[in-house]
């Protein structure tokens, strides 16, 4: 058993795992498959990503599937515990802490949780559409609860004083509403991103596709948005549905990338850069899957792997052109383009859609290499990198 963390402004998480799934007697909604894991594990990942230092799972009954899901979640996020009542939950959370609550069966995304985590005090996510898939319980004549609440640990203690036959989730909602909690409206974008309460396997599977699509949208560069994001959006639901492990995509991306580099080193620049595009798509899909599963470190490593693939592809293309023509211009252009892009990656500026990125450079270089004009492609990469670097530096100066 963990002792309560005791420091100011602490944020804890509370997940409800009580209700059974529709058409699945004995199976809790929280243990239904979602995103290559269970819904409970996905919810725990969202809470930890929003800043929760401790996650409690409120249960009515224990099932083997629920215990397995909690144990798996605890391997990723150590401070996860099961509670059976508001009183037990209040005892496990430090005084003065804020509690971010997720309703039973709730599917949502990081932007929603981040917004609720940053609320100034008590807050309720609401929708004014009672027929919305996010509407759980009516709060007043206009708003219905949309599945996320931010309350205090003292309010949990208030619920603990209620009669034993109370419904924990409904009581929590009633106490929060009576306290004058801020109503945060559910936006159309959040709904489009997949925010809803799902009680069936079929509904959760459909919601899974929407959430995966929303995850891939985080890559805003034109090359990612129009090419690699579309590829990930097609592949991810199939991969997740088949429970393909995240490491498999990392390995596949590494093998394909190594093949592209070997082809380029052997002076097959067109074939090498084309295979590099496939490697980039595989690595980008792996990064999106890692984000889904809360493996942010691995996602970051895969993003840097894409940069490494671009850098090595450009340099090897420059070397191949030098070997073919004895002209030093291609390797110089390659080094300049890679160095400028590295500086772009390090500049703390908000990227614009047209800015250069490793994946964009590969899309620019590949057609020229295929056509036998790799040197022109390297020149385009160098110019593109410098233009982006100049825009990034200018953006920082404007903010200063």
| 360 pLDDT higher than 80 | yes
Burial class of residue 130, CB neighbours in 10 A (0-12, 13-18, 19+): exposed
State residue 5's pLDDT score: 52
The fraction of the chain above a pLDDT of 90, given in percent, is 46
Higher pLDDT, 25 or 135: 135
Whether the Cβ atoms of residue 56 and residue 81 lie closer than 8 Å to each other:
yes
Contact 113, 194 (CB under 8 A): no
Question: What is the model's pLDDT at position 220?
Answer: 64
Residue 197, phi then psi, degrees to nearest 5: -105, 125
Pick from 129, 146, 396, 374: nearest CA to 267: 374
Percent of the chain at pLDDT > 70 equals 93
- pLDDT tens digits, residue range 380-395? 999 999 999 999 888 7
Residue 219 DSSP code: -
pLDDT above 80 for 219? no
What is the CB-side half-sphere exposure of residue 30 using CA atoms within 13 A? 29
pLDDT of residue 61: 86
Residues 72-100: pLDDT tens digits? Answer: 888 877 689 999 888 888 889 888 889 99
Give one DSSP letter per residue of 229-288, joined into a string.
HHHHHHHHHHHHHTT--HHHHHHHHHHHHHHHHHHHHTT-HHHHHHHHHHHHHHHHHHHH
The pLDDT of residue 290 is 82
Phi, psi of 16, deg, nearest 5? -95, 130
Which secondary-structure segment (H or E) carries 365?
Answer: helix 358-370
Report the C-alpha gap between 369 and 364 in whole angstroms: 9
Residue 227 is given by DSSP the state: I
Q: What is the mean pLDDT of residues 130-150?
A: 91
pLDDT, tens only, 317-342 = 999 999 999 999 999 999 999 999 99
Instruction: Please state the pTM of the whole predicted model.
Output: 0.71
Contacts for 83 with CB less than 8 Å, ≥ 6 apart: 56, 57, 58, 59, 89, 92
Alpha carbon distance 9, 135 (integer Å): 29
Cα distances (angstroms) measured from residue 184 to each of 30, 115, 117, 176? 25, 9, 12, 13
Of 15-29, 103-117, 156-170, 275-289, the range with the lowest mean pLDDT is: 156-170
Per-residue model confidence (pLDDT) at position 3: 52
Helix and strand counts by DSSP (H, E) for the chain: 16, 12
pLDDT digits 0-9 by tens, 281-312 = 999 888 888 877 767 788 889 999 999 999 99
Q: Please, how many CA atoms are within 13 Å of residue 266, restricted to the half-sphere of its CB? A: 9
* Residue 254 reports pLDDT greater than 90: yes
Contact indicator for 32, 23 with CB cutoff of 8 Å: no
How far is the C-alpha of 373 from the C-alpha of 70, rounded, in Å?
Answer: 56
Nearest to 228 by CA among 361, 386, 49, 381: 361
Helix (H) or strand (E) holding 110, with range, is helix 110-117
**pLDDT value for 288:** 81
Which of 239, 248, 377, 265 lies closest to 319, judged by CA? 265
Domains of the chain: 11-200 (3.90.550.10), 217-399 (1.20.120.1760)
Q: How long a stretch of residues is the chain?
A: 400
Write out pLDDT tens, residues 151-204. Answer: 988 888 888 777 666 788 888 888 888 888 899 999 988 888 888 888 888 888
pLDDT reading at 2 higher than 70: no
Q: Is the pLDDT of residue 62 over 80?
A: yes
Tell me if 143 sits within 8 A of 170, measured CB to CB. no
Tell me, what's the pLDDT at 245? 81
Tell me the pLDDT tens digit for each residue of 236-250. 777 876 778 888 999
Burial of 31 (0-12, 13-18, 19+ CB in 10 A): buried
* The pLDDT value given to residue 272: 96
Residue 205 token pair = 């599977």
Count the Cβ atoms, other than its own, within 10 Å of residue 182: 13
Average model confidence (pLDDT) across the chain: 87
Cβ neighbors of 320 (< 8 A, separation 6 or more) are 264, 265, 267, 269, 374
pLDDT for 146: 93
End-to-end CA distance of the chain: 49
103 confidence band (pLDDT: 50, 70, 90): very high
Task: Output the DSSP codes for 330-364.
Answer: HHHHHHHHHHHHHHHHHS-SPPPTTS--HHHHHHH
* Joined tokens for residue 396: 């920082």
């Amino acid at each position: 058993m963990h002792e309560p963390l005791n420091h100011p402004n602490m944020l804890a998480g509370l997940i409800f795992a009580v209700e059974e799934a529709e058409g699945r007697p004995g199976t809790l909604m929280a243990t239904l498959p979602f995103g290559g894991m269970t819904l409970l594990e996905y919810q725990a990942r969202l809470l930890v990503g929003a800043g929760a230092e401790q996650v409690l799972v409120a249960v009515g009954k224990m099932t083997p599937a629920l215990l397995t899901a909690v144990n798996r979640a605890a391997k990723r996020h150590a401070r996860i515990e099961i509670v059976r009542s508001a009183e037990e939950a209040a005892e496990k959370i430090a005084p003065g802490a804020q509690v971010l609550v997720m309703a039973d069966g709730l599917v949502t995304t990081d932007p929603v949780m981040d917004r609720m985590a940053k609320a100034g005090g008590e807050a309720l996510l609401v929708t004014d559409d009672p027929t919305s898939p996010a509407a759980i319980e009516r709060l007043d004549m206009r708003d219905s609860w949309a599945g996320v609440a931010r309350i205090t640990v003292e309010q949990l203690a208030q619920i603990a004083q209620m009669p034993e036959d109370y419904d924990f989730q409904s009581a929590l909602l009633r106490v929060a509403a009576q306290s004058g909690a801020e109503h945060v409206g559910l936006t159309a974008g959040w709904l489009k991103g997949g925010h809803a309460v799902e009680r069936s396997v079929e509904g959760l599977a459909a919601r899974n596709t929407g959430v995966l699509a929303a995850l891939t949208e985080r890559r805003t560069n034109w090359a990612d948005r129009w090419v690699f994001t579309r590829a990930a959006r097609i592949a991810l639901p199939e991969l997740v549905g088949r429970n393909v492990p995240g490491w498999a995509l990392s390995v596949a991306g590494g093998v394909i990338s190594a093949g592209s580099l070997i082809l380029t080193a052997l002076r097959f620049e067109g074939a090498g850069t084309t295979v590099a595009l496939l490697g980039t798509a595989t690595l980008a899909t792996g990064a999106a899957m890692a984000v889904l599963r809360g493996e942010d470190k691995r996602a970051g490593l895969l993003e840097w792997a894409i940069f490494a693939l671009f850098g090595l592809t450009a340099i090897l293309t420059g070397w191949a052109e030098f070997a073919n023509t004895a002209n030093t211009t291609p390797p110089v252009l390659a080094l300049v383009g890679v160095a400028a892009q590295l500086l772009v990656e390090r500049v703390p500026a908000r990227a614009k859609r047209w800015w250069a990125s490793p994946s964009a450079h590969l899309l620019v270089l590949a057609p020229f290499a295929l056509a036998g004009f790799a040197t022109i492609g390297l020149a385009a990469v160098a110019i593109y990198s410098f233009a982006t670097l100049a825009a990034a530096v200018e953006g920082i100066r404007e903010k200063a």
